[in-house]
A = this chain, B = another copy of it.
Amino acid sequence: MNGAKRGASRATTIIDIAKVAGVSKSTVSLVLKDSPLVKPGTRQRVNQAIEQLGYVYNRSAASLRTSKSSFVGMVISDLMNPFFAELAVGIEDELNDFGFVPILANTNENVDRQARVLQSLLEHGVAGVIMSPANGTDAWTLAATLPRSLPVVLTMRRVEGSPLPYVGPDNRTGACRAVRHLIGLGHRRIAFIGGFGTMTTQSERLSGYFDALQEAGLQRDETLIFDAAPTRNGGMDAAARALAHSGRPTAAFCFNDIVAIGVTRAIALRGLRVGADIAVIGFDDVVGAEHNLPPLTTVSADTRLMGARAARGLLGLIEGADPATASFTGETRLVIRESCGAQQETIGGTT
């Protein structure tokens, strides 16, 4: 058995403070919730007693009585990824503002672990769940795990076939914007690098890529699509394949900024120049935004804002709002980080 006692001995309760203040515990409860029903003098005596005894409110007991919880499950697929860390910060911050606290679960992209933590979250009585689903999450399994009545919002990744509300970047429009930018630079053979077909995020970004090609009257060429792990090494590997392609692309649109960094490196290792020889653009701008490391052009949405919106959406659901109102797609902008220095330029763009 795990678990620990609250405090060393018996906790001080509203009964204790009722005794000291010379009132009933109902009255104490009323002052705790700032009820206008209690006389100022009484209120003051009660507050004094609270101060004096160092009383701390037992929210769990209240929660049991009212069946209202202030816990929210925050299920993150990979907290080591700065992208999701930023998301988590956005969620936590917003939740805090509304008096809720997040229980963190990092699934590390493991669907079994995800199933376990969801169960645990239920037992802990969360009022709702915000989750970036682990890769490979199955809509049916998810539906079977979560009570129909539990408010849930998916974030950053959809689950194919699930009707759950979704908060995330506008992948399709963003990808289209990125590829349109490359086309505007004169590129005609543009590779799509990174991600796997099983990821809804990839298919959305791929759709945007195709949109831009079509809009420019360019032929789509499936051989220019290179699946790869959404990591730096994935980017390096895929770039090697792309560069060996008989009709070598002159530009690469990368699944995300981390892939783009790998691609950039692979290009440099072959003695080619990024930009001059091969243009590279990524999606998301987390690594760059935080450390401002590589000069890189990306298209990205405000991750933290999306975290906040996910939280707000969930809180709405908890209050009984229509699930449709919880969804939100983040607008993307083109960010051109020209050099190694701090200077950077943002080219806005409403979706």
Contact = CB atoms under 8 A, between A and B. Distances in A.
Given A60-B125, A85-B85, A89-B80, A4 B318 contact: yes
Contacts of A325: none
A268 B69 CA distance: 54
Contacts of A99: 2
Given A100-B2, A150-B7, A58 B290 contact: no
A103 B103 contact: yes
6 contacts: A4-B69, A7-B150, A56-B122, A60-B69, A232-B291, A233-B342
Given A4-B319, A63-B3, A269 B340 contact: yes
Interface of chain A, main secondary structure: mixed
A95 to B, nearest CB: 9
A185 interface: no
Copies in the complex: 2
Could you say which interface size class chain A belongs to?
35 or more
Interface of A: 1-8, 11, 33, 54, 56-61, 63-64, 66-71, 74, 79-80, 82, 85-86, 88-89, 92-93, 96, 98-106, 108, 117, 119-125, 127-128, 147-151, 232-233, 258, 261, 265, 268-269, 287, 290-294, 315, 318-319, 340-342
A101 B59 CA distance: 17
B2 A70 contact: yes
Contacts of A92: 79, 104-106
Contacts of A58: 64, 123, 125
B106 A104 contact: no
A325 to B, nearest CB: 16
Contact of A127 (B4, B63, B68, B85): B4
A234 to B, nearest CB: 12
